[in-house]
Amino acid sequence: MSAKDRAKWNSIYKNRGEEGYPHPDLLLLDYTPPVPLGGERRALDLAGGVGQNGLWLAEQGYVVDILDISRAALDRARLEMTTRKIRTVNLLCVDLDEAGLSPDSYDLVCVFRFLSRPLLANLMTTIKPGGRLIYETFNLSVREARPDFSPEFCLSPGELTAAFPKWRVLRDADAGIWAQYVAIKV
């Protein structure tokens, strides 16, 4: 991504300022493992936007890093964090094309409405053994309704299963315009 991408996403999130705060994505609610009583689990909300998923994870007991390129989006997340009195979230304004994710850092990584194929290998290593990946983004069917939508940002059927070999797959499905993938690192 570039300064142009950052400006684009800042503009998009500034224009959404009057909208209500979004709910967490349903796939996350269905597949997030609980944090053991007295335990600590770390989560990454990658391309987290205004942070609805990361904040929900923090409310479930996770220590969360929310990464996004848009400062405007993260400012909205910070405002919501303050309102909810959430203190276990780190908001990081990062160009995801340059994000260096440390190995074995997270118990859970969630990604919604974002695809960067070069980043997939980094995701594979940043999740701890036994950790979980929850991923939902556009599949190629979105191009039927929006022919101008770039195939660069669309998953093909089975693409994530191929990208994460030997993982225990809990869900690999296409639901309308969405590709949904949930797997545990073995």
Closest CA to 64 of 78, 96, 72: 78
CB 109 within 8 A of CB 127: yes
For domain 3-11+39-184, give the fold. Answer: Rossmann fold (3.40.50)
pLDDT tens-digit series, residues 11-67? 767 777 667 889 999 999 999 999 999 889 999 999 999 999 999 999 999 999 999
pLDDT tens-digit series, residues 158-168? 999 999 999 99
| CB burial string 121-158: b at 16+ within 10 A, e below | ebbbebbbeebbbbbbbbbbebeeeeeeeeeeebbeee
Residue partners of 23: CB distance under 8 A and separation at least 6: 52
* Tally of CB atoms within 10 A around 69: 25
pLDDT tens-digit series, residues 86-111? 999 999 999 988 888 999 999 999 99
Phi, psi dihedrals of residue 148, rounded to the nearest 5°: -80, -5
Sorted by where each begins, the domain ranges of the chain are 3-11+39-184
